[in-house]
């Protein structure tokens, strides 16, 4: 786990794949607990405040921001609700989209019992509109494609579901059909860029990171993303 930035208001980190964004019904370490322990060791605080204001799926790694005060949590949550926080992802998908860039728009329905979402007809009861844009960055001769993805909505498992519905599932994603292609331990999805207004100083901030595991190793010589900005 890498810390990109920290101050009295926020912590910006690179979440490793396989770790939950916040506490779950599990004894495994999660990001909030890890960061609380980190602050306690560094600053001597007992039970410091750390709040998750957005999430990444447990298998997905990448850049996240955590609030260190209730006021910061409220300010960041308002930005997320207002869709002013910009998120960019990298995905390695099986096959290749028909167009070099485009928009995917679907209605998604989440099954709370199975923790799986699916594409449903528009207007389906409890279904939600999901929209993302993508751009192909590179292809390789093994049948994989590297794409950048911008989320315009934040639905449950959105990128994974929409890419699978477009017949280009994310490599290594056993839940949505990409697990049969390639012997990957980790999923080919990574939050590579995050930009938001600092809750204290109001300055616009942008952070980037590069994935260095799993399916992304197929394209390590193709894309160049600095560790931080």
User: Are the CB atoms for 151 and 132 separated by under 8 Å?
Assistant: yes
- The token pair at 228 is 């931080």
Look at phi and psi of residue 182 and say left if phi exceeds 0, alpha if psi is from -120 to 50, else beta.
left
Measured between alpha carbons, how far is 31 from 22 in angstroms, rounded to an integer? 6
Place of tokens 């109001």: 202
Assess whether 57 carries a catalytic annotation.
Answer: yes
Catalytic residue, chosen from 7, 30, 57, 221, is 57
Q: How many CB atoms lie within 10 A of CB 121?
A: 9
Q: Which residues are tagged catalytic? A: 57
């Amino acid at each position: 786990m890498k810390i990109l930035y920290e101050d009295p208001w926020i912590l910006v980190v690179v979440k490793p794949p396989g770790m939950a964004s916040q506490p779950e019904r599990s004894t495994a370490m999660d990001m909030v607990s890890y960061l609380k322990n980190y602050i306690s060791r560094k600053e001597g605080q007992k039970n410091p405040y750390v709040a998750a204001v957005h999430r990444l799926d447990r298998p997905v790694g990448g850049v996240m921001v955590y609030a260190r005060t209730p006021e910061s949590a409220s300010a960041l949550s308002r930005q997320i609700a207002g869709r002013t926080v910009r998120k960019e992802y990298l995905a390695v998908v099986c096959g290749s989209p028909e167009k070099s860039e485009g928009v995917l728009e679907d209605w998604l329905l989440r099954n709370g019992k199975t923790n799986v979402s699916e594409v449903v007809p528009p207007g389906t009861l409890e279904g939600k509109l999901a929209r993302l844009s993508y751009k192909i960055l590179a292809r390789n001769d093994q049948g994989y494609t590297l794409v950048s993805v911008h989320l315009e909505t934040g639905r449950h498992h959105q990128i994974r579901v929409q890419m699978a519905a477009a017949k280009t599932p994310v490599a290594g994603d056993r839940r949505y059909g990409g697990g049969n292609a390639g012997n990957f331990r980790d999923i080919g999805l990574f939050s590579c860029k995050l930009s938001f207004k600092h809750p204290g100083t109001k300055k616009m901030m942008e952070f980037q990171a590069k994935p260095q595991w799993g399916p992304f190793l197929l394209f390590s010589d193709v894309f160049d993303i600095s560790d931080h900005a």
